Structure 1
Amino acid sequence: MAADPQRGPKREMSLERIVDAAVQIADADGLGAVSMAAVAARLGYTTMSLYRYVSAKDDLIQLMQEEATGLPPESIREAKGWRARLVAAFRASVQVYLEHPWILDIPITGSPATPNSAAFMDVMLDALAETPLTDDERLAAALQVTGQARWYGTILAAYARQARERGMSPEEIAAYEDRLFATLITPEEYPALRRAVDAGVFRSEADPFQFGLDRTLDGLAAYMAERESGAPPAPSAPWHEPEAPDVAEDKRYREARKAVRDAEKALRAARKLERQALAEARQRAARTRRDT
C-alpha cells in the first residue's frame, strides 16, 4: 500500500503518523470527513506529500481499519472453554465498533485480508479447534458470531450517535421510542407489534442481542453433543449466489417489482379495513350484550 519509501527527499512524516491522523479525524467526524487533503492539513503538509507514503485513499482507509481494529485481546485465548472464548471475541469486536463506529461504514469486500482482522477470525477458529465440528462448521460458527457482533455494534453506534446529536441519554431515547411506537403502532394495523409495545419491550432492560447470541451458542452446544454421541455431520447446504436481473430485462424487472409493491400496498390496506371492520363488529356485539 505504501509507496517506495526511498523516493523523494528525506521525509519527516511516517505512514504511522498519517494513519493515526486519519483515525483521529474519523473518530471525531466520521469516515466521510477523511480525505487526503484533510489528513495532510492535520499534519501540516501538502496533499501531494501524502502520496509518497499512501498510494490512494482506499489504501489509507484499509490501513485505518487495520489500526482501529487492533489485535484481539489476549483475554480471549485465556477464557475457559469454546463458549466463553466466543463470547469474549464477540464482546471485543463490539467494543471496537463502539470506539471506532466509522468502521461500520467501510464496505465489506471479501474475507478478512489484513493481519488484525484475520487475527480475530483466527482466535475464534482456535476456540473451536477441540470441538467435534468440521472445518466448514467452525468457520460458519465464527461467521455467525462475527455477524451478530457487527449487527450489535451497528445498533449501539447508532444509538450513541443519536444520543450525542440530541443531547439525550440512552434511557431518554428508549422512553422517546416507547412513546413514539405507542402513538404510531395501532392494534388494528399491527396487532402483534402493538402487543409487544404494550408489554413494554422498548422499556425493558433485557438485552435482545445477548439473548440471540446465547441461543446461537446453545444451538452449537446441542449440535456438538449430537456429534459427540456419534451423529454424522449435518449435510452441507450448497452456496447459492442470488441472481441479479439481466441488464436487458432491467426495465421490465423494475416494472414488475413496482407492480408487486402496489399489490402489497393494496393488500395491506384491505387487511387494515378488515381489522377495523372486525373491531367495530366486536364493539357492536359488546354493546348489544350490555343493552340486553
Structure 2
Amino acid sequence: MLPSRDLMHRRRRLRAAVFSDAPRYPEENDSWPRRAIEGVIVDASPHVLTLALADGTQVRLPMSATVSIWYDGRAELAALRPGRHAVVRPAEAGGLAAEHIWVDITRVTGVITRRVGDVFEVDAGPHRGRQAVTVPAQALRRVQVRHPRLEPGALLDVIGVRRGGEVLGLRPAQTSPQPAPHAIEPTSRRSVGSVRVLRGTATWFDHPDGARGAAYPALDPYGDGGGCGTGPATRLPYLSLGSVLRVRNECTGQEAHVPVIECGCLAARFCDRCVRCGTSPRGRVVELSRSAFVDLGGDLDVGCFNVTVRVDRP
C-alpha cells in the first residue's frame, strides 16, 4: 500500500529540520517555472478560454495571438468544446495568456497483457492498475514504428485522447524504437552507489489529481518507501517517497526541484532513448506528472525530453 500524502509531507518536514540547506519545494518556490493550468472547458471564444478547476473555481485565460491547440494533431478553436479536459501552458512572457493548449490528451504506458482486435489491455504497474486502450486501424502503422510487435508481453507507450469513456492510442512518443520486443524484467538487486547525477530521458504520466511531482523508477520497496518491490535494470540510487529531484530540461534549460510522489517502476523496463533534441545518453530516469512536464517546457504530444536529474542527498 502506498504511503499517504501526509506521510510524504512529514518526510519533507523532517528532512528540512535535519538539513539546514534542504531545498525548497515547488509549492514554496517562487522560481518554479511557468505553471500549467488543468481544467474542464466551460466556454471558449477566439480570445478567452474559461476552465473549471479541480477545486471548483473557474479561471478565464486570454489566448495569445499565436496560441497552439492540440487535439490528435494541430487543431482549431472548434476543438475547445465544453466538457473536454484541457492542459494549458501560459505564454513565456508571463501572465495567464494561453500559449499551448492540449485537449483531452492522455497516455498509456505499460506491458500488454491481452489483445482483442484493436483493443489492448495494458498493465500500467501496481500503482496505476490495468488500462484498456484502443489503437484504431489508421493509427496502427504509426504506433508499430516504435512498437513493432503488439502482443502480450510486449511494451506499449502511446499518446492519444479520451473520447467519452474510451481511450484512443493514436501515436507513440518521440523516442527511439524499443530494442527488445518484450518487456525487460528488472533485477531485484539494490543499485546503490555514488551516482547522484543522472542524464537520460524524462517522460510524463497522468496523475488523477493533477499534482506536480515525479515518478521515480528506483524507490525503496521496503517498509513504507513506496516502491514496487522490484528495482530497475539500470544503476540508479534508491530513494523513497518525499525525496527531491533537481530536474533540468536540457532541451529548454528550464529546471526546478520536483518531489517524488509515486513509483515509476514501469519506466525501468523501457530501453528506448528520447530523440527530442539529439539522442538522450540513456533511457528513462524519471516520469513527470503532466503539469510538471509542461511547466519544465515539455510538449505533451511529443512525450519526452532530454534531462539531467540531480538527486538530493538522503
Larger helix percent: 1
Task: Determine if the TM-score, normalized by the shorter chain, exceeds 0.5.
Answer: no
Scaled by the length of structure 1, what TM-score is found? 0.23
Higher relative contact order (CA 8 A, sep 6+): 2
More strand by share: 2
